[in-house]
Amino acid sequence: MGSSLYFFALSRKNNCVAIKILNGYASQLNREDKLQELKVLQRLSCASPSPLPAETSTHSGRLLTHFYHPGIEEDGEHLCLVMKLLGSDVQAFRENLPNHGYLPLPIVKRILRHVLLGIAHAHARGIAHTDIKPDNIMMDLGSSWTTEAITAWLQANPPQTHPPERSLNKMVTSFVIQSLPHPSISELASGTFRLADWGSAQLVDHQTTDDITPLGLRPPEVVLSHDWDESVDIWTYGCIVFNTLTNRPLFKPMELPEKNATEEEVLLYQMISFCGEFFHEDFLRKSARSLDFFFLNCKLKKFDRYGRKTFQECINDSGFPFSTEEIEEAAAFMHKCLRLDPKNRASAVDLLKDPWLAS
């Protein structure tokens, strides 16, 4: 079971909202400041500082209010976060699209620009999301989804429950996960997208864990136990650019028994091969785990040869109908994000000025 559940609710102002209910353990960690979701959402709910565009705050999480609800038995109190009700996530609606989840390029750029606006807003407030992935990018409900329309949909699709189960000393009934209908292509073309689920977010100046980001999206400084900051989101965003274009992951960490190589070692090899650069001595010297993977000459221990596969080739191999110019521009944009040394990556504000994303 996860650490939280989401529910629809009707607010006192007769608006539909989403309530994220954290389990007792996660709620206590928030009280102890070991998890920072409440504090992060409170910061995000403030307006963007100048000189960021005012629209940045509309593409990240926004907390309407919060409260605590008593738990049953020994579970303790539940922190309940009241937020704007959102629609489908990118991962979910792509699975329902024809042609292997391909999205037209203007929609891809719209999604990526909105996500980047959300990242810029977070970074300006000293927050790193640390868990950017397709199922954490969600679409605002369109204007047709009024409170009346949602109420009618709920009446036509009433909540369903699983059979009751025993939990310690009581019987509990859990609800079946149900989602609103997925958007059409025309709705996506004019939709608003938000970076959602800030449960793993970190205050950059008060980090509580280094265990961040799924392995295939994890930046090299985290893999190698180097100091990290908000630029971890820029690396992950670069991976998401490729995924949103092609509906495929860029990095595919896997074990290679013939080389006795672990998933992390294969991932580091792929980083070197795709990014077209090597790790520098200064960076590795400041990384606590570098000697687990590298010789003193900065070469990987398990790989004596390095193949080169450019971002252009990776995009072209996806089989989607991109022009040569589009591939070149997208690859150049990815290269600004996917630099092995985080100090060489572009900032979110700089990326917003890139002509490929603005076109």
Confidence of residue 12 (pLDDT cuts 50, 70, 90): low
Which is higher by pLDDT, 169 or 305? 305
Beta-sheet pairing, 137-140 with 86-89: antiparallel
Confidence of residue 55 (pLDDT cuts 50, 70, 90): low
CA angle, 199 then 210 then 37, to 5°: 20
Which of 195, 235, 201, 202 lies closest to 216 in space, CA to CA? 235
Phi, psi of 245 (to 5 degrees): -70, -45
Mean pLDDT value of segment 114-132: 95
Residue with tokens 């800030």: 198
Q: For a pLDDT cut of 70, what percent of the chain falls above it?
A: 93
Mean pLDDT value of segment 122-146: 93
Confidence of residue 335 (pLDDT cuts 50, 70, 90): very high
User: In the predicted model, what is the mean pLDDT of the chain?
Assistant: 90
Which amino acid, one-letter code, is at 314? Answer: C
CATH architecture for the domain at 4-358: Orthogonal Bundle (1.10)
Cα separation values, 175 from 138, 172, 178, Å: 22, 10, 9
- Helix, strand, coil percent content, the chain, rounded in steps of 5: 40, 15, 45
The model's pTM: 0.92
pLDDT one-digit tens code per residue, 265-299: 999 999 999 999 999 999 999 999 999 999 999 99
pLDDT one-digit tens code per residue, 295-312: 999 999 999 888 899 999
pLDDT one-digit tens code per residue, 236-259: 999 999 999 999 999 999 999 999
Which of 5, 198, 180 lies closest to 118 in space, CA to CA? 198
Q: How far apart are CA 202 and CA 131, in angstroms?
A: 10
Cβ pair 110, 193 in contact under 8 A: yes
Domain layout of the chain by residue ranges: 4-358
List b or e across 13-51, with b for residues whose CB sees 16 or more CB atoms inside 10 angstroms.
eeebbbbbbbbbebbbbbeeeebbbbbbbebbbeebeee
